[in-house]
Amino acid sequence: MVIGNENNHIDETEKLLKLVRKKPLPVHVAIIMDGNGRWAKKRGLHRIAGHRQGVETLRDVIKVSDELGIKHLTIFAFSTENWKRPVSEVNALIDLLVEYLRREVMELHSKNVKIVILGCLDAFSHSVQQEIKRAVELTSNNTGLNINIALNYGGRAEIIRAVKNIAKDVYDKKLSPDDIDEKLFGNYLYTANIPDPDLLIRTSGEFRISNFLLYQIAYTELVFTHSDILWPDFNKKAYLEAIIEYQSRQRRYGGINA
């Protein structure tokens, strides 16, 4: 909880921003945006109100990421397991996604942001797929911040998809089993040509990965927020604090310090 007036909050955030810029930044930040429903419930609102407020948080995080020069921001927008939710909530989430793309894509494009989709879009309606593809195609040549949106995404499903495609290429004699190594396997994932996340943030106090980027986070630094910080509460200050926590860690990749 922030103590003091708004000016004090702004001053503190500016101090954090200066601290963040003194050390190497993560190239790739991944976020599990958790707690929208609980945020709404605490306020006596419908769950979709929490998701809508979560979109505003996402806008702020994208802005800060772009200002800092972070190259990749991957967000877990809709998982393969989210289809288990009530149909009304699933439809509302999809409608919110389409609304966001229509409202924001031109501004993102003007800021040189590139939109990339991780996941299988086949389960979405034709009109939703077209809206997503329009945003992807419009921004495809941009060279600034990459926003990787995980849609109908599951880490296990991604790995199985990669294994099937490799097996098919071996069967078709496009590959030899001896060709298969970590680099080749990575090229069959949705994240081909995207570096592994340096930092993974999960909000709302939950301490699990929830089937997100299972292969890619082998050496990712994990930061979990306190349970009081649900995704709609995850402001610029909280984001900077997560990056500072990342910067305080020593990344040895199985080795030892010199």
The catalytic residue positions are 34, 82
Q: Are 148 and 70 in contact (CB under 8 A)?
A: no
C-beta pairs of 218-224 under 8 Å, 24+ apart in sequence: 219/251, 219/253, 220/30, 220/196, 221/26, 221/246, 221/249, 221/251, 223/199
How far is 151 from 124, CA to CA, in rounded Å? Answer: 10
C-alpha distances in angstroms, 81 versus 17, 77, 97, 153, 248?
A: 36, 12, 17, 9, 34
How far is 168 from 258, CA to CA, in rounded Å? Answer: 44
